[in-house]
Protein backbone atom coordinates (compact mmCIF):
# COMPACT_ATOMS: atom_id res chain seq x y z
CA UNK A 1 0.00 0.00 0.00
CA UNK A 2 1.18 3.54 -0.68
CA UNK A 3 3.00 5.39 2.02
CA UNK A 4 1.35 8.46 3.50
CA UNK A 5 3.31 11.69 3.27
CA UNK A 6 2.66 13.81 6.33
CA UNK A 7 4.04 16.67 8.37
CA UNK A 8 3.24 18.72 11.46
CA UNK A 9 3.74 22.41 12.22
CA UNK A 10 4.16 23.57 15.81
CA UNK A 11 3.88 27.09 17.19
CA UNK A 12 5.60 27.52 20.54
CA UNK A 13 4.54 29.91 23.31
CA UNK A 14 7.29 32.27 24.52
CA UNK A 15 7.49 33.24 28.19
CA UNK A 16 10.24 35.27 29.83
CA UNK A 17 10.17 35.41 33.58
CA UNK A 18 12.28 37.55 35.84
CA UNK A 19 10.36 38.37 39.03
CA UNK A 20 10.95 41.93 40.15
CA UNK A 21 12.70 43.03 36.96
CA UNK A 22 11.46 44.80 33.85
CA UNK A 23 9.48 42.31 31.78
CA UNK A 24 10.47 41.67 28.19
CA UNK A 25 7.77 41.27 25.55
CA UNK A 26 7.49 38.03 23.57
CA UNK A 27 8.63 40.07 20.54
CA UNK A 28 11.86 41.08 22.27
CA UNK A 29 12.60 37.53 23.42
CA UNK A 30 11.72 36.09 20.01
CA UNK A 31 14.25 38.46 18.42
CA UNK A 32 16.96 37.14 20.74
CA UNK A 33 15.90 33.56 20.01
CA UNK A 34 16.10 34.02 16.25
CA UNK A 35 19.26 36.11 16.15
CA UNK A 36 21.48 33.14 15.08
CA UNK A 37 18.96 32.36 12.34
CA UNK A 38 18.82 35.94 11.09
CA UNK A 39 22.62 36.24 11.24
CA UNK A 40 22.92 33.17 9.03
CA UNK A 41 20.12 33.71 6.59
CA UNK A 42 19.31 37.46 6.87
CA UNK A 43 15.77 36.29 7.49
CA UNK A 44 13.77 34.81 10.36
CA UNK A 45 12.33 32.26 7.96
CA UNK A 46 14.71 29.49 6.89
CA UNK A 47 14.83 25.87 5.88
CA UNK A 48 17.24 23.88 8.02
CA UNK A 49 19.39 20.95 6.92
CA UNK A 50 17.00 18.22 8.14
CA UNK A 51 14.48 19.55 5.62
CA UNK A 52 12.27 21.31 8.17
CA UNK A 53 11.40 24.97 8.31
CA UNK A 54 12.03 27.35 11.18
CA UNK A 55 10.43 30.77 11.39
CA UNK A 56 8.81 33.47 13.44
CA UNK A 57 5.10 33.40 12.85
CA UNK A 58 2.13 35.70 13.54
CA UNK A 59 2.22 36.87 17.17
CA UNK A 60 5.99 36.27 17.58
CA UNK A 61 5.58 32.52 17.92
CA UNK A 62 8.67 30.54 17.04
CA UNK A 63 7.37 27.94 14.62
CA UNK A 64 8.85 24.66 13.47
CA UNK A 65 7.34 22.85 10.49
CA UNK A 66 8.66 19.32 9.98
CA UNK A 67 9.95 18.13 6.65
CA UNK A 68 7.41 16.00 4.83
CA UNK A 69 7.82 12.51 6.32
CA UNK A 70 6.77 9.07 5.14
CA UNK A 71 6.69 6.95 8.32
CA UNK A 72 5.29 7.60 11.80
CA UNK A 73 8.72 7.03 13.37
CA UNK A 74 10.21 9.63 11.08
CA UNK A 75 7.40 12.12 11.67
CA UNK A 76 7.58 11.91 15.46
CA UNK A 77 11.40 11.96 15.46
CA UNK A 78 11.54 15.03 13.19
CA UNK A 79 8.90 16.75 15.34
CA UNK A 80 10.85 16.03 18.54
CA UNK A 81 14.01 17.23 16.75
CA UNK A 82 12.31 20.63 16.60
CA UNK A 83 12.29 20.73 20.41
CA UNK A 84 16.05 20.05 20.44
CA UNK A 85 16.62 22.91 18.00
CA UNK A 86 14.40 25.29 19.98
CA UNK A 87 16.36 24.38 23.13
CA UNK A 88 19.59 25.27 21.36
CA UNK A 89 18.07 28.64 20.44
CA UNK A 90 17.03 29.14 24.10
CA UNK A 91 20.57 28.38 25.28
CA UNK A 92 22.14 30.86 22.87
CA UNK A 93 19.54 33.55 23.58
CA UNK A 94 19.98 33.11 27.34
CA UNK A 95 23.69 33.83 27.00
CA UNK A 96 23.18 36.86 24.77
CA UNK A 97 20.46 38.26 26.98
CA UNK A 98 22.59 37.83 30.09
CA UNK A 99 25.35 39.78 28.33
CA UNK A 100 22.79 42.57 27.79
CA UNK A 101 21.73 42.47 31.44
CA UNK A 102 18.57 40.38 31.12
CA UNK A 103 19.16 37.52 33.53
CA UNK A 104 15.65 36.05 33.73
CA UNK A 105 14.52 32.68 32.39
CA UNK A 106 13.13 31.85 28.95
CA UNK A 107 10.40 29.22 28.76
CA UNK A 108 9.18 27.79 25.46
CA UNK A 109 5.90 25.91 25.73
CA UNK A 110 4.74 23.33 23.23
CA UNK A 111 1.10 23.96 24.13
CA UNK A 112 -1.83 25.81 22.58
CA UNK A 113 -2.96 28.61 24.88
CA UNK A 114 -1.58 31.42 27.02
CA UNK A 115 -3.10 32.69 30.26
CA UNK A 116 -5.17 35.38 28.55
CA UNK A 117 -7.03 33.01 26.22
CA UNK A 118 -4.90 33.46 23.09
CA UNK A 119 -4.36 30.29 21.10
CA UNK A 120 -1.74 29.01 18.69
CA UNK A 121 -1.67 25.81 16.80
CA UNK A 122 -0.44 22.37 15.94
CA UNK A 123 -1.21 21.89 12.27
CA UNK A 124 -1.14 18.49 10.58
CA UNK A 125 -0.72 17.93 6.86
CA UNK A 126 -1.69 14.75 5.04
CA UNK A 127 -1.09 14.13 1.36
CA UNK A 128 -4.19 12.64 -0.28
CA UNK A 129 -5.19 11.44 -3.66
CA UNK A 130 -7.13 14.23 -5.34
CA UNK A 131 -9.71 11.74 -6.63
CA UNK A 132 -11.24 11.76 -3.13
CA UNK A 133 -14.00 14.32 -3.20
CA UNK A 134 -13.29 17.03 -0.61
CA UNK A 135 -16.85 17.40 0.62
CA UNK A 136 -17.25 13.66 1.28
CA UNK A 137 -13.82 13.63 2.90
CA UNK A 138 -14.54 16.48 5.30
CA UNK A 139 -18.03 15.25 6.20
CA UNK A 140 -16.61 11.89 7.20
CA UNK A 141 -13.50 13.24 8.90
CA UNK A 142 -14.84 16.09 11.05
CA UNK A 143 -16.80 13.92 13.54
CA UNK A 144 -13.65 11.84 13.93
CA UNK A 145 -11.45 14.91 14.52
CA UNK A 146 -13.91 16.28 17.09
CA UNK A 147 -13.90 13.06 19.11
CA UNK A 148 -10.25 11.93 18.84
CA UNK A 149 -9.46 14.22 21.81
CA UNK A 150 -10.17 11.13 23.94
CA UNK A 151 -6.63 9.99 23.09
CA UNK A 152 -5.03 12.92 21.22
CA UNK A 153 -5.82 15.65 23.77
CA UNK A 154 -2.94 17.18 25.71
CA UNK A 155 -5.11 17.91 28.76
CA UNK A 156 -5.87 21.31 30.24
CA UNK A 157 -6.51 22.85 33.62
CA UNK A 158 -9.50 25.07 32.86
CA UNK A 159 -9.97 28.22 34.95
CA UNK A 160 -13.37 28.90 36.53
CA UNK A 161 -15.76 31.11 34.63
CA UNK A 162 -15.36 34.65 35.90
CA UNK A 163 -17.98 37.26 36.77
CA UNK A 164 -21.51 37.14 35.49
CA UNK A 165 -20.65 36.53 31.87
CA UNK A 166 -23.29 34.69 29.94
CA UNK A 167 -21.80 31.32 29.08
CA UNK A 168 -23.38 31.54 25.63
CA UNK A 169 -24.59 28.68 23.51
CA UNK A 170 -21.18 27.21 22.78
CA UNK A 171 -20.17 26.85 26.41
CA UNK A 172 -23.56 25.84 27.76
CA UNK A 173 -22.37 22.39 28.87
CA UNK A 174 -19.09 23.54 30.31
CA UNK A 175 -18.81 23.40 34.11
CA UNK A 176 -18.60 26.83 35.78
CA UNK A 177 -15.88 25.77 38.20
CA UNK A 178 -12.24 25.01 37.51
CA UNK A 179 -11.76 21.52 36.10
CA UNK A 180 -9.60 19.31 33.95
CA UNK A 181 -10.46 18.96 30.25
CA UNK A 182 -9.16 16.75 27.41
CA UNK A 183 -8.11 19.50 25.02
CA UNK A 184 -6.04 22.69 24.91
CA UNK A 185 -7.40 23.72 21.54
CA UNK A 186 -11.10 22.78 21.53
CA UNK A 187 -12.34 26.03 23.11
CA UNK A 188 -10.60 28.09 20.41
CA UNK A 189 -12.11 26.40 17.36
CA UNK A 190 -14.85 28.43 15.69
CA UNK A 191 -15.70 26.77 12.36
CA UNK A 192 -15.81 23.43 10.59
CA UNK A 193 -14.02 24.26 7.37
CA UNK A 194 -12.67 27.59 6.16
CA UNK A 195 -9.66 29.40 4.83
CA UNK A 196 -9.15 31.35 8.08
CA UNK A 197 -6.40 30.63 10.58
CA UNK A 198 -6.22 33.41 13.15
CA UNK A 199 -9.50 35.29 12.99
CA UNK A 200 -11.85 32.33 13.17
CA UNK A 201 -10.06 29.03 13.51
CA UNK A 202 -11.59 26.08 11.68
CA UNK A 203 -11.14 22.32 12.16
CA UNK A 204 -9.98 21.83 8.58
CA UNK A 205 -8.29 24.71 6.79
CA UNK A 206 -8.83 24.75 3.04
CA UNK A 207 -5.21 25.63 2.27
CA UNK A 208 -4.00 23.05 -0.24
CA UNK A 209 -0.28 23.12 -1.08
CA UNK A 210 0.57 19.58 -2.15
CA UNK A 211 4.35 19.98 -2.82
CA UNK A 212 3.58 17.45 -5.53
CA UNK A 213 1.64 17.20 -8.78
CA UNK A 214 -1.45 19.21 -7.84
CA UNK A 215 -3.51 17.37 -10.44
CA UNK A 216 -2.87 14.11 -8.56
CA UNK A 217 -2.61 15.16 -4.93
CA UNK A 218 -4.25 17.35 -2.31
CA UNK A 219 -2.55 18.31 0.95
CA UNK A 220 -5.11 18.26 3.73
CA UNK A 221 -4.48 20.88 6.43
CA UNK A 222 -5.95 19.88 9.81
CA UNK A 223 -5.59 22.64 12.38
CA UNK A 224 -7.78 21.41 15.23
CA UNK A 225 -5.15 19.37 17.09
CA UNK A 226 -3.41 19.87 20.42
CA UNK A 227 0.39 19.99 20.47
CA UNK A 228 1.56 16.71 21.99
CA UNK A 229 4.57 16.16 24.20
CA UNK A 230 4.23 12.35 24.30
CA UNK A 231 5.67 10.29 21.44
CA UNK A 232 3.10 7.54 21.99
CA UNK A 233 0.23 10.04 21.91
CA UNK A 234 1.56 11.37 18.62
CA UNK A 235 1.77 7.81 17.30
CA UNK A 236 -1.92 7.13 17.90
CA UNK A 237 -3.00 10.64 16.84
CA UNK A 238 -1.29 10.55 13.43
CA UNK A 239 -1.73 6.78 13.01
CA UNK A 240 -5.49 6.78 13.66
CA UNK A 241 -6.02 9.86 11.46
CA UNK A 242 -4.08 8.19 8.64
CA UNK A 243 -6.31 5.09 8.98
CA UNK A 244 -9.45 7.22 8.78
CA UNK A 245 -8.10 8.88 5.63
CA UNK A 246 -7.28 5.50 4.09
CA UNK A 247 -10.81 4.29 4.67
CA UNK A 248 -12.27 7.48 3.20
CA UNK A 249 -9.94 7.28 0.18
CA UNK A 250 -10.93 3.65 -0.34
CA UNK A 251 -14.63 4.57 -0.25
CA UNK A 252 -15.31 2.48 2.88
CA UNK A 253 -18.83 3.31 4.10
CA UNK A 254 -18.40 4.91 7.53
CA UNK A 255 -21.98 6.03 8.10
CA UNK A 256 -23.31 9.58 8.32
CA UNK A 257 -22.25 11.12 11.62
CA UNK A 258 -22.25 14.77 10.62
CA UNK A 259 -22.79 16.85 13.71
CA UNK A 260 -25.56 19.38 14.01
CA UNK A 261 -23.14 21.88 15.57
CA UNK A 262 -19.49 20.79 15.32
CA UNK A 263 -18.22 23.76 17.33
CA UNK A 264 -20.55 23.05 20.23
CA UNK A 265 -19.74 19.34 20.01
CA UNK A 266 -15.97 19.82 20.22
CA UNK A 267 -16.44 21.74 23.49
CA UNK A 268 -18.90 19.19 24.87
CA UNK A 269 -16.33 16.45 24.27
CA UNK A 270 -13.41 18.37 25.74
CA UNK A 271 -15.16 19.23 29.01
CA UNK A 272 -16.64 15.76 29.61
CA UNK A 273 -13.98 13.29 30.79
CA UNK A 274 -16.54 10.47 30.82
CA UNK A 275 -16.79 10.52 27.02
CA UNK A 276 -20.53 9.95 27.29
CA UNK A 277 -21.97 13.43 26.63
CA UNK A 278 -24.54 13.03 23.87
CA UNK A 279 -23.78 14.95 20.69
CA UNK A 280 -26.60 15.87 18.31
CA UNK A 281 -26.19 14.62 14.76
CA UNK A 282 -27.76 16.25 11.71
CA UNK A 283 -29.71 13.04 11.19
CA UNK A 284 -31.53 13.71 14.46
CA UNK A 285 -29.72 10.88 16.25
CA UNK A 286 -27.43 11.32 19.21
CA UNK A 287 -24.02 9.73 19.75
CA UNK A 288 -21.34 10.08 22.41
CA UNK A 289 -17.65 10.59 21.65
CA UNK A 290 -17.02 7.08 22.95
CA UNK A 291 -19.65 5.57 20.65
CA UNK A 292 -18.29 7.39 17.60
CA UNK A 293 -14.68 6.44 18.35
CA UNK A 294 -15.64 2.79 19.04
CA UNK A 295 -17.31 2.77 15.64
CA UNK A 296 -14.25 4.24 13.87
CA UNK A 297 -11.93 1.81 15.67
CA UNK A 298 -14.08 -1.18 14.65
CA UNK A 299 -14.14 0.02 11.05
CA UNK A 300 -10.39 0.59 11.04
CA UNK A 301 -9.67 -2.82 12.55
CA UNK A 302 -11.85 -4.51 9.91
CA UNK A 303 -10.21 -2.42 7.18
CA UNK A 304 -6.74 -3.54 8.28
CA UNK A 305 -7.92 -7.17 8.35
CA UNK A 306 -9.13 -6.83 4.75
CA UNK A 307 -6.21 -4.87 3.34
CA UNK A 308 -3.31 -5.89 5.54
CA UNK A 309 -1.03 -3.74 7.68
CA UNK A 310 0.59 -0.93 5.69
CA UNK A 311 3.26 -0.10 8.27
CA UNK A 312 4.93 -1.82 11.20
CA UNK A 313 3.47 0.44 13.91
CA UNK A 314 -0.11 -0.39 13.00
CA UNK A 315 -0.63 -2.89 15.84
CA UNK A 316 0.66 -0.32 18.32
CA UNK A 317 -1.70 2.32 16.93
CA UNK A 318 -4.78 0.08 17.11
CA UNK A 319 -3.80 -1.23 20.54
CA UNK A 320 -3.33 2.19 22.13
CA UNK A 321 -6.47 3.52 20.41
CA UNK A 322 -8.49 0.68 21.97
CA UNK A 323 -6.91 0.95 25.41
CA UNK A 324 -7.55 4.70 25.48
CA UNK A 325 -11.26 4.18 24.75
CA UNK A 326 -11.38 1.40 27.39
CA UNK A 327 -9.77 3.74 29.92
CA UNK A 328 -12.30 6.52 29.29
CA UNK A 329 -15.21 4.09 29.33
CA UNK A 330 -14.12 2.52 32.63
CA UNK A 331 -13.13 5.92 34.02
CA UNK A 332 -9.79 4.39 34.94
CA UNK A 333 -6.84 6.03 33.15
CA UNK A 334 -4.30 3.68 34.78
CA UNK A 335 -3.96 1.70 31.53
CA UNK A 336 -2.86 4.77 29.54
CA UNK A 337 -1.38 7.16 32.07
CA UNK A 338 2.16 6.79 30.76
CA UNK A 339 1.14 6.95 27.08
CA UNK A 340 -1.58 9.55 26.51
CA UNK A 341 -0.76 13.18 27.25
CA UNK A 342 -3.94 14.17 29.06
CA UNK A 343 -3.75 11.10 31.29
CA UNK A 344 -0.01 11.50 32.03
CA UNK A 345 -0.63 15.12 33.00
CA UNK A 346 -3.80 14.40 34.96
CA UNK A 347 -2.08 11.64 36.94
CA UNK A 348 0.74 13.87 38.13
CA UNK A 349 -1.40 16.94 38.79
CA UNK A 350 -3.96 14.90 40.72
CA UNK A 351 -1.25 13.36 42.89
CA UNK A 352 0.25 16.80 43.48
CA UNK A 353 -3.16 18.30 44.33
CA UNK A 354 -3.95 15.46 46.77
CA UNK A 355 -0.63 15.85 48.49
CA UNK A 356 -1.02 19.61 48.95
CA UNK A 357 -4.81 19.78 49.36
CA UNK A 358 -5.34 21.85 46.19
CA UNK A 359 -8.37 22.24 43.93
CA UNK A 360 -8.31 22.74 40.16
CA UNK A 361 -8.53 26.52 40.65
CA UNK A 362 -5.08 26.56 42.27
CA UNK A 363 -2.54 28.71 40.43
CA UNK A 364 0.06 26.04 41.21
CA UNK A 365 -1.84 23.50 39.09
CA UNK A 366 -2.12 26.03 36.24
CA UNK A 367 1.64 26.51 36.54
CA UNK A 368 2.21 22.74 36.45
CA UNK A 369 -0.01 22.58 33.35
CA UNK A 370 2.35 25.07 31.66
CA UNK A 371 5.38 23.25 33.01
CA UNK A 372 4.21 20.00 31.38
CA UNK A 373 4.73 21.72 28.00
CA UNK A 374 8.03 23.43 28.94
CA UNK A 375 10.47 21.88 26.45
CA UNK A 376 13.64 22.37 28.52
CA UNK A 377 15.04 18.96 29.56
CA UNK A 378 15.49 18.58 33.30
CA UNK A 379 13.02 21.39 34.04
CA UNK A 380 9.84 20.84 32.02
CA UNK A 381 7.41 18.49 33.77
CA UNK A 382 6.95 16.19 30.78
CA UNK A 383 10.72 15.83 30.30
CA UNK A 384 11.08 14.94 33.99
CA UNK A 385 8.26 12.40 33.80
CA UNK A 386 9.73 10.84 30.68
CA UNK A 387 13.23 10.60 32.15
CA UNK A 388 11.80 8.74 35.15
CA UNK A 389 9.66 6.33 33.17
CA UNK A 390 6.32 8.01 33.99
CA UNK A 391 5.92 8.82 30.28
CA UNK A 392 6.58 6.09 27.74
CA UNK A 393 8.34 6.57 24.42
CA UNK A 394 9.07 4.47 21.35
CA UNK A 395 12.05 6.48 20.10
CA UNK A 396 15.23 7.36 21.98
CA UNK A 397 17.42 10.45 22.34
CA UNK A 398 19.89 9.27 19.66
CA UNK A 399 17.12 8.84 17.09
CA UNK A 400 15.81 12.32 17.82
CA UNK A 401 19.29 13.85 17.62
CA UNK A 402 19.90 12.06 14.32
CA UNK A 403 16.67 13.60 13.06
CA UNK A 404 18.22 17.02 13.70
CA UNK A 405 21.34 16.11 11.73
CA UNK A 406 19.97 14.15 8.83
CA UNK A 407 17.86 15.13 5.84
CA UNK A 408 14.87 12.82 5.43
CA UNK A 409 15.68 9.61 3.63
CA UNK A 410 13.94 8.90 0.30
CA UNK A 411 13.31 12.61 -0.18
CA UNK A 412 15.52 14.53 -2.55
CA UNK A 413 17.47 17.30 -0.80
CA UNK A 414 15.47 20.48 -1.21
CA UNK A 415 18.33 22.40 -2.77
CA UNK A 416 22.03 22.99 -2.15
CA UNK A 417 24.20 20.67 -0.06
CA UNK A 418 23.99 22.66 3.14
CA UNK A 419 27.77 22.97 3.35
CA UNK A 420 28.18 26.65 2.70
CA UNK A 421 28.04 29.19 5.50
CA UNK A 422 25.89 31.53 3.45
CA UNK A 423 22.81 30.64 1.53
CA UNK A 424 23.68 30.03 -2.10
CA UNK A 425 20.13 30.93 -2.96
CA UNK A 426 17.16 32.06 -0.89
CA UNK A 427 16.04 28.44 -0.50
CA UNK A 428 19.32 26.89 0.70
CA UNK A 429 19.02 25.07 4.02
CA UNK A 430 20.73 26.35 7.15
CA UNK A 431 23.19 23.70 8.44
CA UNK A 432 22.11 22.46 11.87
CA UNK A 433 23.44 19.77 14.13
CA UNK A 434 21.97 18.19 17.25
CA UNK A 435 25.44 17.77 18.75
CA UNK A 436 26.73 20.76 20.62
CA UNK B 1 19.56 13.97 29.58
CA UNK B 2 20.39 17.61 30.06
CA UNK B 3 24.09 17.22 29.27
CA UNK B 4 23.37 16.89 25.59
CA UNK B 5 22.64 20.58 25.40
CA UNK B 6 25.09 23.37 25.77
CA UNK B 7 24.43 26.67 27.41
CA UNK B 8 23.24 27.89 30.73
CA UNK B 9 20.82 26.31 33.10
CA UNK B 10 19.28 27.90 36.11
CA UNK B 11 20.75 26.83 39.41
CA UNK B 12 17.45 25.41 40.54
CA UNK B 13 17.66 22.60 38.04
CA UNK B 14 21.02 21.48 39.24
CA UNK B 15 19.45 20.65 42.57
CA UNK B 16 17.73 17.72 40.92
CA UNK B 17 19.43 14.33 40.93
CA UNK B 18 20.30 12.76 37.59
CA UNK B 19 17.22 11.33 35.93
CA UNK B 20 17.10 7.62 35.34
CA UNK B 21 17.31 6.53 31.70
CA UNK B 22 13.96 6.38 29.97
CA UNK B 23 12.67 2.87 29.40
CA UNK B 24 12.43 1.71 25.81
CA UNK B 25 9.18 0.50 24.35
CA UNK B 26 5.64 1.72 24.73
CA UNK B 27 4.51 -0.06 27.84
CA UNK B 28 6.53 1.55 30.56
CA UNK B 29 4.98 1.57 33.98
CA UNK B 30 6.36 4.31 36.16
CA UNK B 31 7.57 3.16 39.49
CA UNK B 32 5.48 4.74 42.21
CA UNK B 33 8.73 5.58 43.98
CA UNK B 34 9.97 7.59 41.01
CA UNK B 35 6.74 9.56 40.85
CA UNK B 36 6.84 10.11 44.61
CA UNK B 37 10.37 11.46 44.41
CA UNK B 38 9.39 13.78 41.55
CA UNK B 39 6.41 15.00 43.61
CA UNK B 40 8.92 15.82 46.35
CA UNK B 41 11.29 17.62 44.02
CA UNK B 42 9.07 19.40 41.50
CA UNK B 43 8.67 22.53 43.64
CA UNK B 44 12.42 23.12 43.32
CA UNK B 45 12.12 23.68 39.55
CA UNK B 46 8.97 25.83 39.70
CA UNK B 47 9.14 29.56 40.24
CA UNK B 48 7.80 30.48 43.66
CA UNK B 49 4.91 32.80 42.88
CA UNK B 50 2.62 30.59 40.83
CA UNK B 51 -0.09 33.17 40.25
CA UNK B 52 2.30 35.88 39.06
CA UNK B 53 4.11 33.35 36.91
CA UNK B 54 0.97 32.11 35.18
CA UNK B 55 -0.44 35.61 34.64
CA UNK B 56 2.91 36.68 33.21
CA UNK B 57 2.52 34.32 30.27
CA UNK B 58 0.54 36.35 27.76
CA UNK B 59 1.16 36.50 24.10
CA UNK B 60 -0.73 37.38 20.98
CA UNK B 61 -2.64 34.60 19.38
CA UNK B 62 -1.08 32.61 16.59
CA UNK B 63 -2.78 30.51 13.96
Q: pLDDT by residue (tens digit) across A232-246?
A: 999 999 999 999 999
Q: Does A22 touch chain B (CB under 8 A)?
A: no
Decide if pLDDT at B61 tops 70: no
- Is A265 contained in some domain? yes
- Pick the residue of A224, A335, A387, A432 with the most B CBs within 10 A to test the interface with B by mutation: A387
Q: Mean pLDDT score of chain A, rounded to an integer?
A: 92
* DSSP 8-state secondary structure symbol assigned to residue A156: E
> What residues of A are in contact with residue B28 (Cβ under 8 Å)?
338, 389-393
Let me know if residue A9 belongs to a domain: no
What pLDDT shows up at residue A410?
A: 53
Other beta carbons less than 10 A from residue A252's beta carbon:
16
Chain A stretch 297-316, residues whose beta carbon is closer than 8 A to a beta carbon of chain B: 316
How far apart CA A386 and CA A392 sit, in angstroms, is: 6
B27 has a pLDDT exceeding 70: no
Q: How many domains does chain A have?
A: 1
Q: Confidence class of residue B17 from pLDDT cuts 50, 70 and 90?
A: very low
Within-domain flag for A140? yes
CB A390, CB A344: distance < 8 Å? yes
The verdict on residue A142 lying in a domain is yes
pLDDT of residue A165: 59
> Which of A16-20, A189-193, A326-330, A415-419 is the least confident region?
A415-419
Residue A370 CB coordination number (10 Å): 24
> Quick one: angle between helices A26-33 and A72-99, nearest 10?
100
Q: Most A CBs within 10 Å: which of B45, B49, B61, as the mutation test of the A interface?
A: B61
| Residue A390 belongs to some domain of the structure | no
Kind and range of the H or E run holding A239: helix A231-249
Indicate the average pLDDT of chain B.
Answer: 65
Alpha-carbon gap: B48 to the closest alpha carbon of chain A (Å): 9
Assign A407 a pLDDT band (cuts: 50, 70, 90).
Answer: confident
Q: Is the pLDDT of residue A71 over 90?
A: yes
Q: Say if residues A407 and A67 touch (Cβ distance below 8 Å).
A: yes
Q: Which residue does chain A place closest to B30, by CA atoms?
A: A390
B33 touches chain A (CB under 8 A): no
- Measured distance CA(A3)–CA(A299) in Å, rounded: 20
* A94-108, A122-136, A158-172, B39-53: the lowest-pLDDT one: A158-172
Which residues of B are less than 8 Å from A92 in CB distance? 7
Q: Is residue A290 part of a domain?
A: yes
* pLDDT of residue A2 exceeding 90: no
Determine, yes or no, domain membership for A299: yes
Per-residue pLDDT, B10: 40
pLDDT at site A167 = 63
Cα torsion B37, B39, B40, B46: sign: positive
Tell me, what's the pLDDT at A197? 78
Confidence at residue A194, expressed as pLDDT on a 0 to 100 scale:
87
Does residue A195 fall inside a structural domain? yes
Residue A192's domain comprises 133-203+229-372
Mean pLDDT of all residues in A203-217: 90
Residue of B nearest to A395 (CA): B24
Whether complex ipTM tops 0.85: yes
Banded model confidence at residue A434, pLDDT cuts 50, 70, 90: confident
Q: Report the C-alpha gap between A224 and A46 in whole angstroms.
A: 25
Q: Per-residue pLDDT averaged across A134-160, rounded?
A: 96
Q: Report the chain B residue with the minimal C-alpha distance to residue A377.
A: B2
C-beta separation of A56 from A46 below 8 A: no
Model confidence at A137: pLDDT above 90: yes
How far is the C-alpha of A410 from the C-alpha of B45, rounded, in Å?
A: 42
Distance from CA of B3 to the nearest CA of A (A): 9
Amino acid sequence: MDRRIYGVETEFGVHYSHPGARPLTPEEVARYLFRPVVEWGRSSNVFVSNGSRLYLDVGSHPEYATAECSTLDELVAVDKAGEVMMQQLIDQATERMAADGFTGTIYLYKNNADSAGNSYGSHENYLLNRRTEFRRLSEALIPFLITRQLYAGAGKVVAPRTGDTDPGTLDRDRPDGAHFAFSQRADHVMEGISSATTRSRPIINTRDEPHADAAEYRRLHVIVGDSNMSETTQLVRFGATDLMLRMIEAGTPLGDHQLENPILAIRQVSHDLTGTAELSLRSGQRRSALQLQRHYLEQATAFVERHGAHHDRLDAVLDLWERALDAVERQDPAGIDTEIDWAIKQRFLTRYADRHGLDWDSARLAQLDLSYHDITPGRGLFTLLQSRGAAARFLDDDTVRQAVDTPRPRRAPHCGDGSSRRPASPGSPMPWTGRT
Amino acid sequence: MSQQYSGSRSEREEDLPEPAPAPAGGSAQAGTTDLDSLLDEIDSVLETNAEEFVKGFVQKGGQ
